[in-house]
Every structure is written in C-alpha cells, then in structure tokens.
Amino acid sequence: MAGPLSHIRVLELSRVLAGPWSAQTLADLGADVIKVERPGAGDDTRAWGPPWAGDQSAYFLSTNRGKRSITIDFERPEGQELVRRLAAQADVVIENFKVGGLVKYGLDYDSLKAVNPRLVYCSITGFGQTGPYRNRAGYDFMIQGMGGLMSITGQPDGEPGAGPVKVGVAVTDIFTGLYATIGIMGALAHRDRTGEGQQVDLALLDVQVAVLANQAMNCLVGGKAPQRLGNAHPNIVPYQAFATRDGHIILAVGNDGQFAKFCTVAGRPDLARDERYATNPARVANRKELVAVLEELIRTRDSHDWLGALEQVGVPCGPINDLTAVFADPQVQARNIHQDLPHPTQGSVPTVASPIRYSGTPLVHDTAPPTLGQHTDTVLAEALGLGEADITALREKGVI
C-alpha cells in the first residue's frame, strides 16, 4: 500500500543534515523526493567519511534514504531552467541556502511562486529570514552553544570533567528537519483547503530555543538560568545515572510511589518515609544529601541485579548501551529498526528505519540512498519529457 504522502512530489535543493533529514522523512511517508545535487561532487556529506559503504559515506547514507538523485548545475541558465520546470510540477521545495542565496538563480520563493502558486517552499537557515543575524551562516555545533543547550549539558562546575558539552548527535539539525516536516505538512493541509502555497521559514536557532522545553520555562518562570547537572534532572530526583559494582545504570524515578518501591528494593524503606525525601519537591530540595546516600547503596550490587529487581516492581531503569548493544537489543530487533536495503553498486546497505508506525498505510523502506546522479536521465525524461538527444546535449555542456 502506498504511503500517506505518495501523491506529493518534493524537490530537494538542500544538503548536509537538516534539509535532507526533512526530505528523507517525507520520502519515508511515501513522497517522491528528487534531490538536486552538484555535478561531480553532490551533497557535501558524500565525502564525510570514513566509514564508507563502497564509495558512499555512512553520513550520507544516514539521511538520504528513499530519494532520487539528479545532478544539475544551476549556476548555468540551462540548469536554472531545468530546476524551474521541475519546481513548476512539484508540491514542495526544500532549500538551505543563505538568505537570498537563490535569488540570483531565479530559484527563490518569489520566483518559483510565480510559476507555481501552489508551491510549499521550505527555507532552512541558521537564523531565519528576518532579524539582525539573518545573513550569518549557522551550524549545529555553534547553535547548540548560542541556543543554550550546551549551558545545561555537561558536568557541573567544580566536578571532574566540568564544562559545557555538545550533544553527541547534531540534534539541532535533526530537530529542525523534523519541525520542517511538520511545517511542510501543515502548509500542504492549508493548500488543500485554499489552493494557496506559502513559504515555511525554519531557523536552527529558533528550533534550539524551542526544544529547551522545561529548562526554558525553568528560566522564564524561575528567573534564573539553569546550570549543568551532568546526568541529573533539574526537576526530578532521583533521575540520573548511578555507578553499580560492575558498571552503571540509569534510575528514572518519576513519582513518589516509584521512589518508595525503589527504597524497598534497596533495603532502605525508611528513606521513603523521611520527610526530607518523601515527596519529589523535598527530594529536589535535598538532592545532594539523598544522592550521596543512593550512590553508596547502588554501588554495592551488580547492574543486572538492580535492573532485574527494579523492573519486577515497575521502577523505571535501564542500562547504558553502546551502539553495538543497541542494535543487538531484542526490543530494537523486534521493531525491525535496522534494515538492509538493496543498493545498485554495493549489493545492500544498512539503514535505520523511520520510527513512525501506521496501522493503515505502513511505511516501506525499499530504496537505498542514491548514487550521485543515479536518476538524472529518468527524471528528466519522465518529468520534463526530454528525449535522449536533449539529455545528451545537456550532459555534453556540463549542465547535468
């Protein structure tokens, strides 16, 4: 059965992560995504290895599943015309050039709106289409710093290893890609009712601030900037990693009942009756004293002992897996998150499947990330009606 967006065509003029992540998500949902790349080089991430699967980097493979790749040099007038003709047939354009960067090619929103008023045009930049920073380049790492995420990530001052730390994945880019997808689908729903397209303006900095969630509200409501707490939670105690006799576990106590159950398993039911620890607000107020007691308790037993005993009574807990252990986990395997896709040059390549599960239109992953320009001839012939001689002439000129 076709995916829920199988009636949608997306023209992707983006590269690296945020834009391609949005386009890949739309492809997972069934959209026909045509990725326009530079002849001879393609998306920057094609060269971001090792590791490699043949001549394709793992980075590129992570964010370009389900797409068709065509190569067009739109610095040339002929290339610009090809892209405009494709945009005239598209439902969505995704681009992540600097503000105004596509105007000189006639591929900006106003130019393409003139040929396709129904077009949903998503622009992804570091700082958005307005504001004093609009012309600056923006990258995930610097936005994690500017947007406050690094100020709350890492060990507290005065502890070993103290200092701001970035998240181990480019989460600002990924969140921006997901918000872009949501914004695009909202604009498509509006178009279905009115027939009107529009521009969707996504900024990495906006997204980073938005996803600070409770920490942002802690600052706005409390009037004080939250500080780094390592693996601890600012609003819940105990909710952090603890060392065991042979490793580490995560203890994620979410309410007073769970804390009482933990205390029973730990052989210290008196802690749950102590007025300093009986409620979550009291535990937050007395965090330092309680955590010191729990550290001593938890390091007396092995990880599997704690995990088994706590799971039996419904106290949230878990191991800290490396990625090899993640993909070996029986739950991850049961959900079929790791899938191998047929590939035209490598035989097959691995992918991490979309987490979206539909009951009526299940997602199907059957198209590996494309080789550079793999679908140029097919797309130009099918979408634009170009004949073999036309395509050959464009290739001889270096346009494609």
Structure tokens at 304: 């599997």
Cis amide leading into 50 (omega within 30): yes
Structure tokens at 227: 């500080």
Cα distance between residue 392 and residue 240, in whole Å: 61
Each residue of 321-352: b (16+ CB within 10 Å) or e? eeeeeeeeeeeeeeeebeeebebeebeebebe
Catalytic (active site) residue 173: yes
Spatial contact of 236 and 284, defined as CB atoms under 8 Å apart:
yes
**DSSP class per residue in 155-222:** BPTTSTTBS----SS-HHHHHHHHHHHHHHHHHHHHHHHHS--EEEEEEHHHHHHHTTHHHHHHHHHH
Q: Which of 32, 91, 173, 201 is catalytic?
A: 173
Residue with tokens 């106290």: 315
For strand 67-71 and strand 198-203, is the pairing parallel, antiparallel, or unpaired?
unpaired
| Spatial CB neighbours of 27, under 8 Å, sequence gap ≥ 6 | 10, 33, 65, 66, 67, 367
Burial degree of 184 (CB within 10 A; 0-12, 13-18, 19+): buried
Q: Give the largest CA-CA distance in the chain.
A: 84
Instruction: Give catalytic residue positions.
Output: 173
